[in-house]
Amino acid sequence: QIQLVQSGPELKKPGESVKISCKASGYTFTDYAMHWVKQVPGKGLKWMGWINTYTGKPTYADDFKGRFVFSLEASASTANLQISNLKNEDTANVFCARKGVSGSFDYWGQGVMVTVSS
C-alpha cells in the first residue's frame, strides 16, 4: 500500500537548521511530484511548494524562498526539506503530500512537528 512516512519531531533553537524527511513506498517515487504543506498548531494549511521527483527541480512559494530547500534521495524514495536559520515562526507541523494523477494531494505523510524555541 502507498505510504509516506516522515521523520520524527524536532526541537531546535533559533538560528539552527533542521532537515526532515519523507520516505515513500508502494509506488514509483519518480512518477509523482511531492509537495510540502505547513500547519501552525490550531491554524490552517499553507502550501510551501513542491519538487519534481523526476528532475529534482524545486519550486517554492514566495514565503518559503531563501531558507527552505527541497531535495531528493531518489534511490531511497525520499524527499527532504531543510530549513536553515530557524525562527520562532517556523514552529509548525510540516506535511509532505503526493500529487496524484488527478492533480490533488492523494496521500499525505503523518507530519513532523518542528518546534523552535530558545
Identify residues 34-73 at the interface with another protein (CB under 8 A).
35, 37, 44-47, 59, 61-62
| Residue 103 in the binding site for another protein (CB under 8 A) | yes
Query: In sequence order, what are the residues at sequence separation of 6 or more whose Cβ sits closer than 8 angstroms to the Cβ of residue 90?
Result: 83, 114, 116
For the chain, the C-alpha Rg in angstroms (whole number) is 13
Interface with another protein in residues 13-32 (CB under 8 A): none
Taking the complex as a whole, how short is the minimal distance between the CB of residue 75 and another protein, in angstroms?
Answer: 26
Cβ 48 to another protein shortest distance, Å: 9
Strand partners, 25: 3
Taking Cα atoms as reference points, which of 14, 52, 18 lies closest to residue 35?
52
Q: Residues interacting with another protein, by CB under 8 A?
A: 35, 37, 44-47, 59, 61-62, 95, 97, 102-106, 108-111
